[in-house]
Amino acid sequence: MRILIAGGGTGDAIVYYAEMCTRFVRNGFPYACGGVDGFEIYHVDLSEVSISIAKERLKVRGLEGAPVFFIQGSLLDLSSPSGRLRLNLPSDILFDYINTSGVLHHLSSPPQGLSALKSVLTDGGSMFVMVYGEHGRTGVYDLQQSVRSLVDTVADPQSCITIVKQFISAMPPTHRLSSTIRSWMMGAEKMEDVGIYREDSEIYDIFCHSQDKAYNVESVFEFIYEGGEGELAMASWQSEVVYDPSTFYGHSQFFLDLFAPLEKSVKKFALAEKAAGSLHSKHSFLLTKDSSKKFPQGTYIGRPWNPAFDEVFASEVLCTSLEESILDYERSMWDDRFQTGWIHDESAMCRFSFDVAAAGRGFDIVETLHCSVLRVVSLLDCKRTVADVVNEVVRLEGLGSDHWWMSRGFRVVYDMALTLQKNGLIVPLPGGNGEKIENNIGGEL
């Protein structure tokens, strides 16, 4: 599997994919990161300094031996065979998966950048894209324009950073950015206790960069169509739940009935964006390519997986982005209902809360699931089938043949899988049919 990090900067993505894929291949995961065929990761960035930092970060994590290749140059050169040669790449190189996060919106022509990446994406491949969101950045642009009226932010970036810090520290509550900052603080008394606008590099990128373009839902789909030239379509939002108006108004039956007839479409997604206010400060989504088609503007493929509850489901292999976060906690730290309470109560349902930050600002989504959910999710390792997981719960918990789990375990896992899949927290990998999927890569679920 060949992975491209386009505009990789100081290495957040390259470290993530190199570490994850190395672990997956070492542990014999049959589908992720190319499985037995292995992987290669290419990091393209204009800055020599950023590349040096990325290399050092890999070294610190003991990943110098990973099959990683650093290329200094413009991602726009990927658009032609001669340009690829200038980047010391084969003229006909193709990638199975491309990650470009927070990059294309800084180009003078973002669609041109998307077109360049499309030209090296294999048919059936996936591309993860993050661009700025218009609705959630109104306050950012207010401050950005204020600073630009006082200093040349391109010629004197350090002064820009200093002025931005002072503005934020003295900002009145009436400023549109204040509501964003207050929502992030969540009880913290000082800005330094909040994980935003702390690092100079972050402040520069958000407030002092020479150019950026923000998108709303409608213009995201226009951007995909223009840059993809009909060959790209949105496979899914990174977190579809934040583009569903019911997420924000679902406590009211009136709104549930009002939204029920809406199909997954640009109209529904745009309604959610407007109804959520200033939430969407970025848009993160997955694209897929099919050069034999001409996708209409506004095409949304979505997450079509909706398996029947039958013997085929037992052979599904499930992979979740929750596994790592759950493993950070000892089981003794779980609530008793999640530990053993469910064993003794067949009907035990728990409220399961998780943070969704795919739109730029984090907020909690709460789902009601069977209390065995943590025990089950902790076993979804991209290798076990559903049948394996159900049987492993029996073994680990020492359940007898007359225990309720023996008859209902599959149903519990089925209901949980559909709920988590809806929220972008789980994907199905092929089970008993022996197929191989190239583009399911861990945290980009």
For residue 316 the two structure tokens come to 């599904």
437 inside domain:
yes
What's the confidence (pLDDT) of residue 435? 41
- Based on the domain organization, do 319 and 356 belong to the same domain? yes
Burial class (CB in 10 A: 0-12, 13-18, 19+), 164: buried
Cα–Cα distance for residue pair 1/67, rounded to 1 Å: 11
**Strand order across the beta sheet in which 426-429 lies:** 381-385, 317-320, 426-429
What's the confidence (pLDDT) of residue 11? 92
Residue 355: how many other CB atoms lie within 10 Å: 9
- Based on the domain organization, do 65 and 153 belong to the same domain? no
- Based on the domain organization, do 102 and 235 belong to the same domain? yes
- Based on the domain organization, do 7 and 75 belong to the same domain? yes
Own/partner long-range contacts of 193-202 (Cβ < 8 Å, ≥24 apart): 197/164, 197/165, 197/168, 200/161, 201/10
Could you say which of 208, 226, 255 is where a domain stops? 208
- Sign (positive/negative) of CA torsion 272, 273, 279, 285? positive
306 inside domain:
no
- Based on the domain organization, do 154 and 75 belong to the same domain? no
Nearest residue to 219 via CA among 139, 278, 280, 128: 280
Cα–Cα distance for residue pair 188/322, rounded to 1 Å: 26
Residue 149: how many other CB atoms lie within 10 Å: 7
CA distances from 270 to 20, 24, 218 (A): 34, 37, 7
Cα–Cα distance for residue pair 20/444, rounded to 1 Å: 11
Give the strand pairing for 426-429 and 232-237.
Answer: unpaired
- Based on the domain organization, do 151 and 128 belong to the same domain? no
Q: Residue 388 sits in which domain range?
A: 313-444
What's the confidence (pLDDT) of residue 326? 65
Q: What is the pLDDT of residues 87-106, one digit of tens each?
A: 999 999 999 999 999 999 99
Q: Where are the beta strands (DSSP E) in 30-87?
A: 40-45, 68-72
Cα–Cα distance for residue pair 32/35, rounded to 1 Å: 6
- Based on the domain organization, do 398 and 276 belong to the same domain? no
26 inside domain:
yes
106 inside domain:
yes
Burial class (CB in 10 A: 0-12, 13-18, 19+), 236: buried
Q: Which residues of the chain have pLDDT under 50?
A: 186-188, 431-445
The domain tally of the chain equals 3
- Based on the domain organization, do 346 and 436 belong to the same domain? yes
What's the confidence (pLDDT) of residue 359? 61
- Based on the domain organization, do 88 and 228 belong to the same domain? yes
- Based on the domain organization, do 22 and 104 belong to the same domain? yes
Instruction: Give residues with Cβ within 8 angstroms of 356, minimum separation 6.
Output: 239, 241, 242, 362, 363, 364, 365, 423
Whether the Cβ atoms of residue 351 and residue 366 lie closer than 8 Å to each other: yes
- Based on the domain organization, do 358 and 434 belong to the same domain? yes
CATH number of the domain to which 259 belongs: 3.40.50.150
- Based on the domain organization, do 171 and 193 belong to the same domain? yes
295 inside domain:
no
Could you say which of 208, 226, 242 is where a domain stops? 208
Could you say which of 208, 232, 254 is where a domain stops? 208
300 inside domain:
no
298 inside domain:
no
Q: What is the pLDDT of residues 206-233, one digit of tens each?
A: 888 888 899 999 999 999 999 999 999 9
For residue 383 the two structure tokens come to 């290798």
255 inside domain:
yes
Locate tokens 């014999």: which residue? Answer: 28
